[in-house]
Structure 1
């Protein structure tokens, strides 16, 4: 369903017009957010933003807005962007607080790991000393047995 008024064609929102590519495909509906055409829908070649195969097909779906509506949409977009930015800053602050908390926990874990490592090394030294002592006792007992029996 299309009608034409001063070089602007209006298409039913459900019917994509064909573009002019060598292998005809349906055009893609997009939305402009330029300062001159905020929130204005248009059809263009499906390949226009991907490849060099763009056939150049372009047609506005919506009529041009008057200056008041353009400025209102742009102001609302700036306000929404500002709110989104504030929300993003809040999320960033929360994430940074969580990171700081996790760094403190990591510091505690590192301290505990260092203490455990030192304890392990001390036990390892004690075990070696005990092992040497045990070997010494066994050797001494062996020497005493040999001396007793004159071997």
Structure 2
């Protein structure tokens, strides 16, 4: 989302936070690196039902330091999640290998 996206100014005949289709706009949060944590208004109507593409920032932009901190925390969370997933896969592989070796050893002794 960029500041050049379509938006309505306060001087428009439609009040801020109301879609072009006349419905109260939904408030969402941006999680892009450029606008991390910044909230914005958008149309509630789904694109399949002809969303009016209304967009307007909810409030002033966050200070650069706050954006930097939030983005850094999001990166750390993603890194921890990726490490957790790798660890889970490794555990599954190890348990699978143990089961296969135990089964092989069992049948080897039986024959």
Q: CA-to-partner distance for each residue in 1:45-81, whole Å, 9 max, x for gaps?
A: 1235x42612121122242112111111111111111
Alignment length, in residue pairs? 96
- TM normalised by structure 1 equals 0.50
The structure with the largest alpha-carbon Rg is 1
Which structure's residues are more often helix, by fraction? 1
* Structure 2 portions without partners, runs of 5+: 1-8, 11-16
TM-score by length of 2: 0.65
Change in 2 beyond 3 A, CA 1:91/1:62:
farther
Structure with the bigger RCO (C-alpha within 8 Å, sep 6+) is 2
Query: Kindly tell me: are residues 60 and 97 of structure 1, through their superposed partners in 2, closer, same or farther at Cα, counting changes over 3 Å?
Result: same
Q: What is the root-mean-square deviation of aligned Cα atoms in Å? A: 2.8
User: Structure 1: which 5+ residue stretches go unaligned?
Assistant: 1-6, 9-16, 116-151
The answer to which structure has the higher strand fraction is: 1
In structure 2, the partner of 1:96 is 93
